[in-house]
Amino acid sequence: MRELTSRQQEILELIKQHIQTTGFPPTRAEIANQLGFKSANAAEEHLKALARKGVIELTSGASRGIRLTPSLTPSNASSAAAGSSMIERITHVISNTLSLPLIGRVAAGSPILAQEHIDSKFDVDPTFFSDTPDYLLRVRGLSMRDAGILDGDLLAVKKAVDARNGQIVIARIGDEVTAKRLRKHSGYVELLPENPDFQPIIVTNPNEFSIEGIAVGLIRGGKNFN
């Protein structure tokens, strides 16, 4: 990995912190605002430089389409130290593996973790996520595209019955289950997509709405997990 400038390192740390806090990467506008750039374009140029240096990957057309690329080889270590680091990493992953059920399609009106909904189970490292998830949910469609959540991805979800404004939640509306960004109002709830091609869902009847969980991370390219 090529050496980062101080500004690039600052942006990389900001991305890591944002993912750790919210479960998802920041937008270009959020990076620009946090670091005092005049426009989101300045943030974009720094992100492209980080991508060229191999520390992140960018998803075209998604405002939160930033993915960290973990480096397995320390940049300033001998080959022996690098080998030792690799062994420690593998040992850590094996000893801290978390087995999560993968939920495919959810049948109307039945619990999300019902046995008939579980396609399979996957062993993952819980440190990949902002909080320890309880299950993986296969994403269907592109309504959350601009949050970097694409069709076929695996969304890591922590079970919860409440959430803060702005969090991405797994919500049940009547018999349907959907992933959207939560916005609470007095007397009603909005479930916001992250794609201008989709309309917000407005729920006024509390008896038709419940929160099943909070998104705490993402596994890209879940279509390849069969």
Positions annotated as catalytic residues are 143, 180
CA 76, CA 97: separation in Å to the nearest integer? 28
Q: Cα(162)–Cα(47) distance, rounded to whole angstroms?
A: 34
Beta bridge partners of 209: 173
Per DSSP bridges, beta strands 201-203 and 188-192 are: antiparallel
Which residues face 108 on adjacent strands?
none
Beta strands 135-138; 98-103: pairing state: parallel
Which region, left, alpha or beta, applies to residue 15 given φ > 0 means left and ψ of -120 to 50 means alpha?
alpha
CA 224 to chain centre: 17
Helix extents (H) in 62-132:
79-95
- Residue 4 CA to residue 55 CA, distance in Å, equals 9
- The 3-state DSSP class for residue 68 equals strand
**Are the C-beta atoms of residues 25 and 148 closer than 8 Å to each other?**
yes
